[in-house]
Chains A and B, each alone.
Chain A
Amino acid sequence: MSKHRDVTQEKPLVQLLLIIAVTLFLGIFLVLPLVIVFVEAFRNGFQTYLAALGDPESLAAIRLTLLVAAIAVPANLIFGVAASWAIAKFEFPGKSVLNTLIDIPFSVSPVISGLIYVLLFGAQGVLGPWLEAHGIKIIFAVPGIVLATMFVTFPFVARELIPLMQQQGTRDEEMALSLGASGFKTFLQVTLPNIKWGLLYGVLLCNARAMGEFGAVSVVSGHIRGLTNTMPLQVEILYNEYAFAAAFAVASLLAMLALLTLVMKSLLEWRYGAELAARKRRP
């Protein structure tokens, strides 16, 4: 080895110590919580684990979580595509304001995100009496849960797509249009292939948050067993009843979802990093 040390690096010993410190820190601080979810879930054996997941209330919670995500994610997907189309492909006054407004849900507490819907649709809310007179239930029912979930996951797809589409510009589309393709065909065959990995990336993050959202959903759900409990709420209820193994069993499914999301997210970043403009923008 040469005696000339790279002047832009720390001494090897310092590097080694820092690497060990960071590995230990992340290991204890991030990995242990993940490990304990599975340890606690299987504490009383595999049979108990399966029984906890097969419980009708837990199954209802799983179904509701899937249903809510199945509505909220496509809704935000459509919004994300429309908003990024307008913002990335056109110049118009107020564009930066619109860009900022889309981000609002990221900076509002989940609990406040739920609260605003209660103030709007709740029994004492602005529209409460009208809804009651017409027999429509939003708060303490599935529609409220869907709305609150949509709110907290609102920016995800748009956040990924806007910078990506801005970076790609309009040349490809203009070429397709000048060759006679219709607007819709241009979008499907030119724009969509260009943004597909960014789109998937946004959907992935949006879905993880939609299925895992707790605070906002907790406010609007009313915790009606078997009816308005999503998986995170079911975890809370089981935990508060000291049914720890069952709580961690349901939690383990959510933890697996988180792991799956991380793996897919990392794969996308490693393989298609160049096609994800928003890479590492925000966790």
Chain B
Amino acid sequence: MTGRRGLLPPVRQASAIPGFGLALGYSLTWLSLIVLVPLAVLVFRALELGPGELWRIIGDDRTRAALRVSFGLSFLAAIVNAFAGLLVAWVLVRYRFPGRRLLDALVDLPFALPTAVAGIALTALYAPNGWLGSLLAPIGVKVAYTQLGIFIALVFIGLPFVVRTLQPVLDDIDHEVEEAAATLGAGRRQTVFQVLLPTIVPAWLTGFALALARAVGEYGSVIFIAGNIPYVSEIAPLLIIIRLEEFNYAGATAIATAMLAISFVLLLIINLLQGWTRRRLGYV
């Protein structure tokens, strides 16, 4: 083995630590069995359908409507999350006030609360006779069983992703940079918006992407509040389940493939944006 050194990278660095073969072998086998092989079956099934058939199913009006609802509302929710999450992270990191730790812990609630529980709780709150729904009804705002309801559920589920991504970055901001900006005559607003916030853009994009990815696939917290009216408030994951219940495996496979493909492209774009902002900021 050592003879190959210099020509090819060694299979692994020489180490006194035992168990490499066992640990890696076990990990790879388990990863393949639980994750890779089942996912490969989805890809295989999609290839089996062929591009024509895939396109026909995805081009179907109801599928297109469901994909539009899922991706459109997820995008809006992720944008709102980006701003709400930034505000929450800012306040939690930079200010000291009683109850801060409690609020900080609460941010993870949407993540810890099972989605079905979140779904029925949000529905009960925002239904026309619910605590919040009854306040909104007189001003003509209907939340539950509309697209607005889906949007609310997606904001709920995505919030922790932005906050948790931004907190460590805000924490790391060097106070000297702010002092320098202030010394050079920048007002507080100028310092915040022109000096501090630009440095967190890459992390902000990461938080946005995580919230978006989560929202696109979200099912449990949405279906109770959505109303699930085809063409209007039916999300793509629900349509997959409906197709499966009709034993229409091809339909389910095609929608799932479309979802994964669109998500992949979106995440790729966000990744490129991230790279671009990093380069602009001058760190790689």
Q: Is A188 an interface residue (CB 8 A)?
A: no
Q: Could you write out 26 A-B pairs with CB less than 8 Å apart?
A: A22-B88, A25-B84, A26-B106, A29-B159, A32-B125, A36-B125, A79-B30, A90-B20, A91-B12, A93-B9, A109-B216, A109-B217, A110-B217, A111-B237, A116-B38, A116-B42, A117-B38, A118-B252, A150-B34, A151-B38, A212-B115, A214-B220, A215-B217, A215-B219, A251-B117, A255-B113
Cα separation A199 to B28 with both chains bound (whole Å): 20
Q: Which residues of chain B are near A90, meaning CB under 8 Å?
A: 12-13, 15, 17, 20, 24
Report the minimal beta-carbon distance from B50 to chain A, rounded to whole angstroms: 16
Q: Is A69 an interface residue (CB 8 A)?
A: no
Contact B249–A119 (Cβ < 8 Å): yes
Q: Which residues of chain B are near A147, meaning CB under 8 Å?
A: 34
Q: Is B161 an interface residue (CB 8 A)?
A: yes
Report the minimal beta-carbon distance from A238 to chain B, rounded to whole angstroms: 9
Contact A18–B35 (Cβ < 8 Å): no
* Partner-binding segment picked from B51-59, B89-97, B268-276: B89-97
Q: Is B41 an interface residue (CB 8 A)?
A: yes
State which of A109, A125, A255 has its C-beta within 8 Å of the C-beta of B117.
A255
Cα separation A101 to B33 with both chains bound (whole Å): 13
Contact A115–B220 (Cβ < 8 Å): no
Contact A15–B95 (Cβ < 8 Å): yes
Report the minimal beta-carbon distance from B30 to chain A, rounded to whole angstroms: 5
Contact B182–A7 (Cβ < 8 Å): yes
Given A7-B183, A19-B97, A91-B13, 5 more A-B residue pairs with CB atoms under 8 Å apart are A22-B88, A111-B241, A116-B42, A126-B41, A262-B105
Q: Which chain A residue shows the least CB distance to B88?
A: A22
Cα separation A110 to B238 with both chains bound (whole Å): 11
- A1-36 interface mask toward B, CB cutoff 8 Å, 1 = contact, 0 = none? 000000111110001001101110110111111101
- A96-131 interface mask toward B, CB cutoff 8 Å, 1 = contact, 0 = none? 001001101101111110011111101111100000
Report the minimal beta-carbon distance from B190 to chain A, rounded to whole angstroms: 12
State which of B27, B37, B94, B125 has its C-beta within 8 Å of the C-beta of A83.
B27
Q: Which residues of chain B are near A236, meaning CB under 8 Å?
A: 116, 224
Q: Which chain A residue shows the least CB distance to B20?
A: A90
Contact A18–B91 (Cβ < 8 Å): yes
Report the minimal beta-carbon distance from B264 to chain A, rounded to whole angstroms: 9
The B contact surface, by secondary structure, is: helix
CB contact list, B233-275 vs A, under 8 A: 237-238, 240-241, 244, 247, 249, 252-253, 256, 259-260, 263, 267
Q: Is B148 an interface residue (CB 8 A)?
A: no
Q: Which residues of B contact A (CB under 8 A)?
A: 9, 11-13, 15-20, 22-24, 26-28, 30-31, 34-39, 41-42, 44-45, 84, 87-88, 90-92, 94-95, 97, 99, 101, 103-118, 120-122, 124-125, 130-132, 155-156, 159-161, 163-165, 167-168, 175, 178-179, 182-183, 188, 191-192, 210, 213, 216-220, 224, 237-238, 240-241, 244, 247, 249, 252-253, 256, 259-260, 263, 267
Contact A214–B219 (Cβ < 8 Å): yes
Cα separation A154 to B35 with both chains bound (whole Å): 8
Report the minimal beta-carbon distance from B21 to chain A, rounded to whole angstroms: 9
Report the minimal beta-carbon distance from B211 to chain A, rounded to whole angstroms: 10
Q: Which residues of chain A are near B247, meaning CB under 8 Å?
A: 123-124
Cα separation A75 to B27 with both chains bound (whole Å): 11
Q: Which residues of chain B are near A23, meaning CB under 8 Å?
A: 99, 103
Contact A235–B117 (Cβ < 8 Å): yes
Known: A7-B178, A111-B237, A112-B260. A36 touches B156 (CB 8 A): no
Cα separation A10 to B224 with both chains bound (whole Å): 41
Q: Is A219 an interface residue (CB 8 A)?
A: yes
Contact B11–A92 (Cβ < 8 Å): yes
Q: Which residues of chain B are near A57, meaning CB under 8 Å?
A: none
Contact B224–A258 (Cβ < 8 Å): no
Q: Which residues of chain B are near A105, meaning CB under 8 Å?
A: 35
Q: Which residues of chain A are near B34, meaning CB under 8 Å?
A: 147, 150-151, 154
State which of B24, B28, B167, B249 has its C-beta within 8 Å of the C-beta of A280.
B167
Known: A31-B106, A232-B117. A173 touches B31 (CB 8 A): no
